[in-house]
Chain A
Amino acid sequence: DQQVKQNSPSLSVQEGRISILNCDYTNSMFDYFLWYKKYPAEGPTFLISISSIKDKNEDGRFTVFLNKSAKHLSLHIVPSQPGDSAVYFCAASAFSSGNTPLVFGKGTRLSVIA
C-alpha cells in the first residue's frame, strides 16, 4: 500500500512557464511534507517543506500548497528553468508521532524545455 503517491511519472514544461507537480497521500497521521529534487547518480536535495498547520509555503520560485481535506499537495515552480529538469520526490512524515522516517513517492521526472 503506497502511502505517498505521485501519479505522474513525467512532466514536460516550456521554459518560463509554470510547472505543477502533484502528490497525494493516504495516511492521515502525516503532518509534515517535503519536496526533494534529485539528479541522476546524486542524493536528493531538499527543496521546500510544509507543516500541516499551513496551507501554503513559498520560497523564491518554489511554492508548496497543501490541501489537508483532499490529502493532496502540489509543488509549483515559476518560472520554470532548464536547470529545474530533474526528478522531484514528494515525502511525508508523521512528525508529531515521533522519530518516524520519511515516506517517499515514486517521483516525477520534470523536463523543462528551452
Chain B
Amino acid sequence: DTGVSQDPRHKITKRGQNVTFRCDPISEHNRLYWYRQTLGQGPEFLTYFQNEAQLEKSRLLSDRFSAERPKGSFSTLEIQRTEQGDSAMYLCASSPPLGPSGGAYNEQFFGPGTRLTVL
C-alpha cells in the first residue's frame, strides 16, 4: 500500500498522559499537513511541513502540542498532558511538490486518521 499511513489507528489514554502519533506520507511528497477533526465538525488545520521545515502553525496548536518531521519523511505529533478536549480524530495528509506554476490543485492525500480518546 503506497498511501498515507498513520499509527496508531486508535488511542485511549488517561487525562494527563502524553501521546505520540506517527504519519508516513506518500513517498516523495514534500508537504505534510496535520488536521484535527472533532465530532460533527470538518477537519481543522493544525500545522504544515515542507520537507523538514515547519512552515505554519494554527492557533489551535497550543504549547502542549508539538510536531516534528526530522528528516523530511515521516512526521510525529505529540500531545503532552492530554485533556478531555483533545479527544478527536487526528488526520495527516501529504501532497507532492508544486509544479512550476504552483496552483491550488495540489491534491492532499489523507491517511486513515488516529482516533484519540482521553478519559
User: Are A and B bound to each other?
Assistant: no
List the interface of chain A (C-beta within 8 A of B): none
